[in-house]
Amino acid sequence: MRSRLGRLCWMGTALGFLLLSEALGGSASAADAGTWLLEIEAGAAWQTRNDIQIPSDTGTPFALDEIVGSGPYAAPRFEATWRFAERHGLRLVVAPFEVDDDGVLPAATDFAGETFAAGTPTRFVYQFDSYRLTYHYCFHDGSRWTWRVGGTAKIRDARVELSQSGVSAADANTGLVPLAHLAGEWRFAPRWRLELVLDALAAPQGRAEDLSVKIRRNVSESWSVAFGYRTLEGGADNDEVDTFTWINYAVVSAACRF
């Protein structure tokens, strides 16, 4: 595949199926005890909204999802959680995302200091990689429900690039974003549970929300598999950029606890 994200996704999917095959070969008892949880997620992502205007004052606004289509696009994710004390834990997330596609601009477009012609084949690269470190505290751990609250430090590595014959321009931005964290778990049947995870924060300059809902099944003492839905929405409106994105995911994952 042309996209580096596509290669990452296929690698993650292959590893996920390998983990799944190993898990299905184990015993069927449910056990949640453990210090580490490693999870590989493979997803298909659709753009519901991807509005871009760079710079925010002189750039021409355009909707990337309307130009190249909604998708789906590959969306892998890798997570490691360390429970270092009874009620305390850390979570590391690596979540690359990239749209690398071709389309035609409906009108002449000023972007990042260059002007791009309408009706001309154009390559669009939209990259939004996310790296997160979360601290969470378990404030409720009952027979059915578990709830955790904490904070997430998110490093956003974003880049938008347009290129036509003879002209190209790119805008890149890397920054630290603080987010609030909430996670819940409902054990509704033996070996089955419903999981909710939310990282979110809003400010006058922008907002970010990442919400996932998964159904997970323990297939051995160490292994579990899950499927569900994820939505990512947010953006920024400042002196440099005006961008807002809404992406919806269908996801499957495999996890090992030890």
- Write the pLDDT tens digit of every residue in 33-74: 468 999 999 999 999 999 999 998 899 999 999 999 999 999
Q: pTM of the predicted model, to two decimals? A: 0.84
> In the predicted model, is pLDDT for residue 14 greater than 60?
no
The residues spanned by each domain of the chain are 4-257
pLDDT the model gives residue 34:
60
Q: Phi and psi (nearest 5°) for 238?
A: -140, -165
Which stretch of DSSP H or E encloses residue 81? strand 77-82
Lowest mean pLDDT among 20-29, 118-127, 205-214: 20-29
For residue 45, give the nearest of 163, 154, 130 by alpha carbon. 130
Burial class (CB in 10 A: 0-12, 13-18, 19+), 114: middle
Average pLDDT score over the chain = 88
The Cα 192–Cα 214 span in angstroms is 11
Burial state string for 120-159 with b = 16 or more CB within 10 A and e = fewer than 16: eebebebbbbbbbebbbebeeeeeeebbbebebebebebe
The predicted-structure confidence for 82-127, as pLDDT tens digits, reads as follows 999 989 999 999 999 999 999 999 999 999 999 999 999 999 999 9
Topology of domain 4-257 in CATH is Lipocalin (2.40.128)
